[in-house]
Protein backbone atom coordinates (compact mmCIF):
# COMPACT_ATOMS: atom_id res chain seq x y z
CA UNK A 1 0.00 0.00 0.00
CA UNK A 2 1.26 3.47 -0.94
CA UNK A 3 0.53 6.43 1.33
CA UNK A 4 0.96 9.60 -0.69
CA UNK A 5 1.20 12.91 1.14
CA UNK A 6 0.37 15.84 -1.09
CA UNK A 7 -2.10 18.39 -2.32
CA UNK A 8 -4.59 17.86 -5.12
CA UNK A 9 -3.11 20.80 -7.05
CA UNK A 10 0.64 20.14 -7.00
CA UNK A 11 2.13 19.29 -10.42
CA UNK A 12 4.77 17.12 -8.73
CA UNK A 13 2.23 15.15 -6.71
CA UNK A 14 0.13 14.70 -9.84
CA UNK A 15 3.04 12.86 -11.48
CA UNK A 16 2.90 10.25 -8.71
CA UNK A 17 -0.86 9.95 -9.00
CA UNK A 18 -0.54 9.51 -12.78
CA UNK A 19 2.13 6.80 -12.46
CA UNK A 20 0.23 4.96 -9.71
CA UNK A 21 -2.96 4.98 -11.77
CA UNK A 22 -1.19 3.94 -14.94
CA UNK A 23 0.34 0.97 -13.11
CA UNK A 24 -2.99 0.25 -11.39
CA UNK A 25 -1.50 0.61 -7.91
CA UNK A 26 -3.68 1.29 -4.91
CA UNK A 27 -2.72 4.37 -2.96
CA UNK A 28 -4.14 6.49 -0.22
CA UNK A 29 -3.65 10.25 -0.48
CA UNK A 30 -3.29 12.43 2.60
CA UNK A 31 -4.27 15.99 1.69
CA UNK A 32 -1.49 18.26 2.92
CA UNK A 33 -3.56 21.38 2.32
CA UNK A 34 -5.48 20.55 5.48
CA UNK A 35 -4.01 21.61 8.83
CA UNK A 36 -3.84 18.00 10.00
CA UNK A 37 -2.27 16.77 6.74
CA UNK A 38 0.37 19.53 6.85
CA UNK A 39 1.14 18.64 10.45
CA UNK A 40 1.55 14.96 9.53
CA UNK A 41 3.81 15.88 6.59
CA UNK A 42 6.09 18.02 8.77
CA UNK A 43 6.45 15.22 11.29
CA UNK A 44 7.67 12.93 8.52
CA UNK A 45 9.92 14.95 6.23
CA UNK A 46 12.38 17.71 7.15
CA UNK A 47 11.91 19.44 3.80
CA UNK A 48 8.14 19.99 4.17
CA UNK A 49 7.60 19.49 0.46
CA UNK A 50 5.22 17.26 -1.43
CA UNK A 51 5.09 14.61 -2.76
CA UNK A 52 6.22 12.48 0.17
CA UNK A 53 5.48 8.75 0.12
CA UNK A 54 5.49 5.85 2.54
CA UNK A 55 5.60 2.51 0.82
CA UNK A 56 6.23 -0.74 2.72
CA UNK A 57 9.13 0.25 5.01
CA UNK A 58 10.32 3.04 2.75
CA UNK A 59 9.87 6.75 3.35
CA UNK A 60 10.73 8.81 0.28
CA UNK A 61 10.54 12.44 -0.76
CA UNK A 62 10.95 14.03 -4.19
CA UNK A 63 8.83 12.97 -7.15
CA UNK A 64 11.84 11.66 -9.09
CA UNK A 65 13.02 9.36 -6.31
CA UNK A 66 9.46 8.20 -5.68
CA UNK A 67 8.88 7.36 -9.36
CA UNK A 68 12.25 5.54 -9.53
CA UNK A 69 11.23 3.50 -6.50
CA UNK A 70 7.79 2.65 -7.91
CA UNK A 71 9.33 1.62 -11.25
CA UNK A 72 11.87 -0.56 -9.42
CA UNK A 73 9.15 -2.34 -7.46
CA UNK A 74 6.30 -2.53 -9.94
CA UNK A 75 7.82 -2.04 -13.39
CA UNK A 76 7.18 0.78 -15.84
CA UNK A 77 4.00 -0.41 -17.57
CA UNK A 78 3.43 1.41 -20.85
CA UNK A 79 5.46 4.47 -19.84
CA UNK A 80 8.28 5.20 -22.28
CA UNK A 81 11.72 4.74 -20.73
CA UNK A 82 14.61 6.29 -22.66
CA UNK A 83 17.70 4.23 -23.35
CA UNK A 84 21.30 5.13 -24.20
CA UNK A 85 21.95 8.73 -25.11
CA UNK A 86 18.21 9.48 -25.10
CA UNK A 87 18.38 9.38 -21.29
CA UNK A 88 20.31 12.64 -21.21
CA UNK A 89 17.89 14.43 -23.49
CA UNK A 90 15.01 13.24 -21.31
CA UNK A 91 16.93 14.34 -18.22
CA UNK A 92 17.49 17.82 -19.70
CA UNK A 93 13.83 18.10 -20.64
CA UNK A 94 12.60 17.08 -17.19
CA UNK A 95 15.04 19.30 -15.31
CA UNK A 96 14.26 22.27 -17.54
CA UNK A 97 10.51 21.78 -17.11
CA UNK A 98 10.97 21.39 -13.34
CA UNK A 99 12.96 24.62 -13.22
CA UNK A 100 10.20 26.42 -15.14
CA UNK A 101 7.39 25.22 -12.90
CA UNK A 102 9.42 25.84 -9.73
CA UNK A 103 10.05 29.44 -10.85
CA UNK A 104 6.36 29.87 -11.74
CA UNK A 105 5.40 28.48 -8.31
CA UNK A 106 7.72 31.01 -6.65
CA UNK A 107 6.16 33.88 -8.59
CA UNK A 108 2.65 32.62 -7.77
CA UNK A 109 3.21 32.30 -4.01
CA UNK A 110 5.14 35.56 -3.67
CA UNK A 111 2.33 37.21 -5.63
CA UNK A 112 -0.09 35.95 -2.98
CA UNK A 113 2.13 37.68 -0.41
CA UNK A 114 1.90 40.89 -2.42
CA UNK A 115 5.36 40.75 -3.98
CA UNK A 116 5.36 41.25 -7.74
CA UNK A 117 8.08 40.66 -10.37
CA UNK A 118 8.10 44.44 -10.98
CA UNK A 119 9.22 44.92 -7.36
CA UNK A 120 12.01 42.37 -7.28
CA UNK A 121 14.82 41.78 -9.76
CA UNK A 122 15.14 38.20 -8.53
CA UNK A 123 11.46 37.55 -9.12
CA UNK A 124 11.63 39.16 -12.56
CA UNK A 125 14.44 36.70 -13.31
CA UNK A 126 12.07 33.85 -12.36
CA UNK A 127 9.47 34.98 -14.91
CA UNK A 128 12.16 35.46 -17.56
CA UNK A 129 13.46 31.96 -16.79
CA UNK A 130 9.99 30.49 -17.36
CA UNK A 131 9.89 32.21 -20.78
CA UNK A 132 13.40 31.06 -21.67
CA UNK A 133 12.73 27.45 -20.73
CA UNK A 134 9.33 27.19 -22.34
CA UNK A 135 10.73 28.64 -25.57
CA UNK A 136 13.34 25.87 -25.65
CA UNK A 137 10.89 23.14 -24.63
CA UNK A 138 8.39 24.27 -27.29
CA UNK A 139 11.01 23.75 -29.99
CA UNK A 140 11.69 20.21 -28.74
CA UNK A 141 8.05 19.07 -29.19
CA UNK A 142 7.02 17.17 -32.31
CA UNK A 143 3.32 16.53 -32.75
CA UNK A 144 2.66 16.60 -29.00
CA UNK A 145 5.50 14.25 -28.01
CA UNK A 146 9.21 14.53 -27.42
CA UNK A 147 10.07 11.37 -29.33
CA UNK A 148 8.91 9.84 -32.58
CA UNK A 149 7.38 6.73 -31.02
CA UNK A 150 4.52 8.84 -29.62
CA UNK A 151 4.42 7.29 -26.18
CA UNK A 152 4.09 9.17 -22.94
CA UNK A 153 7.32 9.23 -20.97
CA UNK A 154 8.35 11.15 -17.88
CA UNK A 155 9.19 14.25 -19.94
CA UNK A 156 5.67 14.46 -21.42
CA UNK A 157 4.29 13.81 -17.92
CA UNK A 158 6.43 16.63 -16.50
CA UNK A 159 5.30 19.02 -19.23
CA UNK A 160 1.61 18.16 -19.00
CA UNK A 161 1.45 18.47 -15.21
CA UNK A 162 3.45 21.71 -15.25
CA UNK A 163 1.54 23.45 -18.05
CA UNK A 164 -1.79 22.37 -16.63
CA UNK A 165 -0.78 23.77 -13.22
CA UNK A 166 0.28 27.07 -14.86
CA UNK A 167 -3.09 27.22 -16.61
CA UNK A 168 -4.98 26.30 -13.42
CA UNK A 169 -3.19 29.04 -11.46
CA UNK A 170 -3.11 31.54 -14.31
CA UNK A 171 0.65 31.59 -13.91
CA UNK A 172 1.46 31.55 -17.65
CA UNK A 173 -0.78 32.29 -20.67
CA UNK A 174 -0.77 28.65 -21.81
CA UNK A 175 -3.99 28.92 -23.78
CA UNK A 176 -2.50 31.72 -25.89
CA UNK A 177 0.33 29.46 -27.01
CA UNK A 178 -0.88 27.27 -29.92
CA UNK A 179 1.80 24.58 -29.42
CA UNK A 180 1.18 24.17 -25.69
CA UNK A 181 -2.59 24.51 -26.01
CA UNK A 182 -2.56 21.78 -28.63
CA UNK A 183 -0.34 19.62 -26.40
CA UNK A 184 -2.74 19.96 -23.45
CA UNK A 185 -5.84 19.39 -25.61
CA UNK A 186 -4.28 16.35 -27.25
CA UNK A 187 -3.33 14.63 -23.98
CA UNK A 188 -6.48 15.68 -22.10
CA UNK A 189 -8.25 12.59 -23.46
CA UNK A 190 -5.83 10.38 -21.49
CA UNK A 191 -7.86 9.05 -18.58
CA UNK A 192 -4.93 9.14 -16.15
CA UNK A 193 -4.62 12.88 -16.78
CA UNK A 194 -8.39 13.33 -16.58
CA UNK A 195 -8.57 11.47 -13.27
CA UNK A 196 -5.83 13.58 -11.69
CA UNK A 197 -6.97 17.08 -12.63
CA UNK A 198 -6.10 19.83 -10.13
CA UNK A 199 -9.04 20.73 -7.91
Ligand X SMILES: N[C@@H](CCC(=O)N[C@@H](CS)C(=O)NCC(=O)O)C(=O)O
Query: Can you spell out the DSSP letters for 48-101?
Result: --S-EEEETTEEEESHHHHHHHHHHHH--TT-B---TTHHHHHHHHHHHHHHHH
In Å, what is the CA distance from 161 to each residue of 9, 68, 130, 145? 10, 18, 15, 14
**Which region, judged by CB under 6 A, interacts with ligand X, from 8-16, 149-157, 167-175, 179-187?**
8-16
Tell which one of 50, 53, 154, 163 touches ligand X (CB under 6 A).
50
CB-nearer residue toward ligand X: 108 or 144: 108
- Tell me 9's DSSP state: S
Cβ closer to ligand X: 102 or 144?
A: 102
Contact flag: residue 64 with ligand X (CB under 6 A): yes
Task: Using CB under 6 A, pick the residue from 19, 20, 45, 51 that binds ligand X.
Answer: 51
Q: Which of residues 107-136 bind ligand X (CB under 6 A)?
A: none
Nearer to ligand X, 39 or 185 (CB): 39
| Rounded-to-integer distance, Cα 29 and Cα 8, Å | 9
Q: Output the smallest distance, CB 140 to ligand X, in A.
A: 20
Chain centroid to Cα 10, Å, comes to 7
Nearest to 155 by CA among 100, 84, 105, 80: 80
Binding flag, residue 41, ligand X (CB under 6 A): no
The site for ligand X, by CB under 6 A, has a size of 12
Beta carbon of residue 178, minimum distance to ligand X (angstroms, whole number): 27
63 binds ligand X (CB under 6 A): yes
Question: Sign of the C-alpha dihedral, residues 54, 58, 62, 68?
Answer: negative
Amino acid sequence: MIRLYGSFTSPFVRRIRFVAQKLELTYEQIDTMTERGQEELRKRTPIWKVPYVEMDDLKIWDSHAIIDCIFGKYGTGSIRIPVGEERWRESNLIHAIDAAVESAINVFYLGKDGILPSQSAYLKKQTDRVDSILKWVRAELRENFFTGDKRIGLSELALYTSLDWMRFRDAYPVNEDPVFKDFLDFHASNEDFRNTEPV
